[in-house]
Chain A
Amino acid sequence: MSELKQELKEKIIEQLNLEDVAVDEIQDNDPLFGEGLGLDSIDALELIVMLDKDYGIKLADPKEGRKIFESVQTMAAYIEANRSR
């Protein structure tokens, strides 16, 4: 699980071009949207595609994303439970 969280932090930084953010600056429970990393709705779409492409998870209901993408911790937990690759 900790390896997955590390991997997610690296992917978030790389895919969302967070040039000024280092992996160790993202805490597991930091909110990704709003106050935390300040991600927005376009980033949410990027993350949905990342789940599909890298972990084989298709979000049937985009509203689910609100809970899944709360933090790296919630993302990792969801991926662990649902991944097909």
Chain B
Amino acid sequence: MKKSVYIQSVGSVSAQKTFDNSSFLEDIITYNDTTIRVIDPNYKEYIPPAAARRMAKGIKMSTVSAKNALTEASIEESEIDAIIVGTGLGCIGDSEKFVKDIIDNDEQFLTPTRFIQSSHNTVAGQIALGMGCKGHNFTYVHSSISLESSLLDAKLQLEEDEAQTILVGAVDELVDHHVNTHHLIGHIKEEPTETSNVLKSQTKGAIFSEGAHFFVLSNKKNEGSYAELLGIKTFNTLQIEAVETEIIHFLNDNSLDPEDIDLLILGNNGDVEFDTYYQTLDEGTFASHPKAYFKHLSGEYDTANGFGFWLANKILKGSLVPSAVLRGKHEIPSPKSILIYNQYRGENHSLLLLKKC
């Protein structure tokens, strides 16, 4: 018999004050820009200087996020059976520097540090080295379903009891060259936009950002558990007309109906071209469902849905939907089941289903 999968703890470094886990979106920071960066924790409190000097920002953010999740789970590092990380671009800052070195130096004088840091699986590897974890160590790189692919791997292993406790994470960092190229191709908004207004934006592109979100998943529920992870589904492509039908199929596959869902968390990023996917849910079966949003707080990046997943967990455990994630002033009674729907530029759609436990 398949075991159930629970989220035991969360850790998050984002453009909001999420890293210390002591408050829940009470003090919202608004930005007026085309790109936004994380609020840096004091990395020295988490990482010894000797180790930090060779860490790219993505690794530092992930280390803090992972350590916070592990601390909250109150488990020994040795109890972690596997580390699974999703990332769209890995430590792209060092990838860029490494490639620049190759060009500038005519393929000579290449040093190891940037190469080590530039590989996508560096984050999962560095966390494992720091913890002495010799278990399954895997990195999923799949655009905006990188985290979801990691969660799916973890869920399968936990259900089959191949592992009992897994650290799952997601990270992406914001760097100059990446920003410049995405500006050129119109994926980033042309003009600075107030984040508090971005969901109403009538322009193309998104506000790009970065973040690291880590979660301890287990097949044993305890008093501190946040939620039960009921289902995950990803789609590389999905026709806009099929969104509602696929969501209903997904819910039915998990023995639920639309009316069983108390809250939809949607990945609107203010891109007038692609938020239409989410807008289909404002009509039809899900028209009257309460809806929450998060990318006006987190910005957009391949693993931004990690913020959405963090948000859903915090809502379910705390029985509170912060006003900052709602449009308009209305209260939502304590939700017991949440569906998260996310996609980026009409591709790589994901559905995550969570239940209060």
What 0/1 readout, one digit per residue, does chain B (9-53) give for beta carbons within 8 Å of chain A? Answer: 000000000000000000000000000000000000000011011
Within the complex, what minimum Cβ distance (angstroms) separates A21 from chain B? 9
| B110 proximity list for chain A (CB < 8 A) | 49
B156-200: contact bitstring with A at CB < 8 Å (1 yes, 0 no)? Answer: 000000000000000000000000000000000000000000000
Those of A15-42 within 8 Å (CB) of chain B: 15-20, 38, 42
A7 within 8 A of B: no
Say yes or no: is B113 at the interface (Cβ < 8 Å to chain A): yes
Contact B112 A45, beta carbon cutoff 8 Å: yes
- In the assembled complex, the CB of A72 is this many whole angstroms from the nearest CB of chain B, namely 18
> What is the bound-complex CA distance between A46 and B52, given in angstroms?
17
Complex CA–CA separation, A49 to B108 (angstroms): 9
Contact of A45 with B50 in the complex, beta carbons under 8 Å: no
Query: Can you list, as one digit per residue, whether each of B97-113 has a CB less than 8 Å from chain A (1) or not (0)?
Result: 00000000100111111
In the complex, the chain A residue whose C-beta lies closest to that of B53 is: A17
Q: CB-defined interface of A61-81 with B at 8 Å, one 1/0 digit per residue?
A: 000000000000000000000
Within the assembled complex, what's the spacing in Å between the Cα atoms of A53 and B116?
Answer: 20
Partner of B111, one of A18, A19, A20, A45: A45
B220 interfacial contact with A, CB 8 Å: no
Q: How far is the CB of A19 from chain B (nearest CB, A)?
A: 6
For A53, list chain B residues within 8 Å (CB): 105, 108-109
In the complex, A3 Cα to B49 Cα: how many Å? Answer: 28
Which of chain B's residues 261-300 have a Cβ closer than 8 Å to chain A? none
Would you call B112 and A16 a contact (CB within 8 A)?
no
Q: How near does chain A come to B100, taking the closest CB pair, in angstroms?
A: 14
Query: In the complex, are the beta carbons of A19 and B49 less than 8 A apart?
Result: yes
User: Could you tell me if B109 and A52 are in contact, using CB atoms closer than 8 angstroms?
Assistant: yes
Q: Is the CB–CB distance between A46 and B49 below 8 Å?
A: no
Complex-state Cα separation, A15 to B44, whole angstroms: 20
Asked if A42 contacts B53 (CB within 8 A), the reply is no
A42 touches B54 (CB 8 A): yes
Identity of the chain B residue whose Cβ is nearest the Cβ of A17 in the assembled complex:
B53
Q: How far is the CA of A16 from the CA of B50 in the complex (A)?
A: 10
**Cβ–Cβ < 8 Å partners of B108 in chain A:** 52-53
Q: Is the CB of B111 within 8 A of A49?
A: yes
- Chain A contacts for B109, CB-based, 8 A: 49, 52-53
| Contact between chains at A46 and B113 (CB < 8 Å) | yes
**Complex Cα gap A45–B116 (Å):** 13
Find the residue from B52, B108, B111, B112 having the highest chain A CB count within 10 A.
Answer: B111
What are some 26 contacts across the A-B interface (CB < 8 A)? A15-B111, A16-B53, A17-B53, A17-B54, A17-B113, A18-B53, A19-B49, A19-B52, A19-B53, A20-B49, A38-B50, A42-B112, A42-B113, A42-B116, A45-B111, A45-B112, A46-B111, A46-B112, A46-B113, A49-B109, A49-B110, A49-B111, A52-B109, A53-B105, A53-B108, A53-B109
Q: A residues engaging B (CB < 8 A)? A: 15-20, 38, 42, 45-46, 49, 52-53
Please name 20 further chain A to chain B contacts, defined as beta carbons within 8 Å, in addition to the given A20-B49, A52-B109, A53-B108, sorted by A numbering: A15-B111, A16-B53, A17-B53, A17-B54, A17-B113, A19-B49, A19-B52, A38-B50, A42-B112, A42-B113, A42-B116, A45-B112, A46-B111, A46-B112, A46-B113, A49-B109, A49-B110, A49-B111, A52-B108, A53-B109
3 closest A-B pairs by beta carbon, nearest first, are A17-B53, A53-B109, A49-B111
